[in-house]
Amino acid sequence: MKVATGTVVAGRIVLEDAALPEGSKVTVLFADDTESFELSPDDEAALLEAIREADHGAVVSGDDVLASLRRPA
């Protein structure tokens, strides 16, 4: 998994310094008019590492997370 930044031009996303193979599946996260979304290089590295871990199955199910929140401390 990779992170790429782009801009919408004429209704299409134009990526900066990245090219995707035809048919690539993408997820778009965008800021609305009241907020911005920027990552420092360290935060981006941490995000990419977390994505790699998830890709290799190192995840906690949503049910387990919710169950842990319901348990008394």
| DSSP states of 11-72 | TEEEESS----TT---------TT------HHHHHHHHHHHHHHHTT----HHHHHHHHHS-
**Domain extents in the chain:** 6-70
> What pLDDT digit, counting tens, does each position of 33-72 carry?
777 777 888 998 998 898 889 888 888 888 888 888 888 7
H or E, element range at 8:
strand 6-9
Q: How far apart, in whole angstroms, are the C-alpha atoms of residue 42 and residue 63?
A: 30
The single-letter code of the amino acid at 38 is E
pTM above 0.85, yes or no: no
Q: What was the pLDDT predicted at 1?
A: 66
Q: What was the pLDDT predicted at 62?
A: 84
pLDDT at 10 over 90: yes
Q: How far apart, in whole angstroms, are the C-alpha atoms of residue 67 and residue 58?
A: 18
